[in-house]
Amino acid sequence: MCELYFYYAEREVEYLKTKDERLGEVIEKIGHVDREVDTDLFSSVVHHIIGQQISTKAQATIWARMKAQFGEVNAESISAADIDTLQSFGMTFRKAEYIKDFAEKVKTREFALQEISQLPDNEAIKALASLKGIGVWTAEMILLFCLQRPDIFSFDDLAIQRGLRMVYHHRKIDRKLFEKYRRRFSPYCSVASLYLWAVAGGAIPGMKDYAPKKNRRK
Tens-place pLDDT, residues 122-142: 999 999 999 999 999 999 999
CATH code 1.10.1670.40 region(s) in the chain: 10-35+152-215
CATH code 1.10.340.30 region(s) in the chain: 41-145
162-195: pLDDT as tens digits: 999 999 999 999 999 999 999 999 999 999 999 9
pLDDT band at 218 (very low <50, low <70, confident <90, very high): very low
105-123: pLDDT as tens digits: 999 999 999 999 999 999 9
CATH topology of domain 41-145: Endonuclease III; domain 1 (1.10.340)
Half-sphere exposure of residue 129: CA atoms within 13 angstroms, side-chain side: 14
CATH topology of domain 10-35+152-215: Endonuclease Iii, domain 2 (1.10.1670)
What's residue 214's pLDDT? 72
SS3 state at 132: coil
CA angle 104-122-41, nearest 5°? 35
Residue 201 has pLDDT above 70, yes or no: yes
For residues 62-88, average pLDDT = 96
Q: Quick one: the chain helix, strand, coil %, rounded to 5?
A: 60, 0, 40
Distance CA 119, CA 122 (A): 8
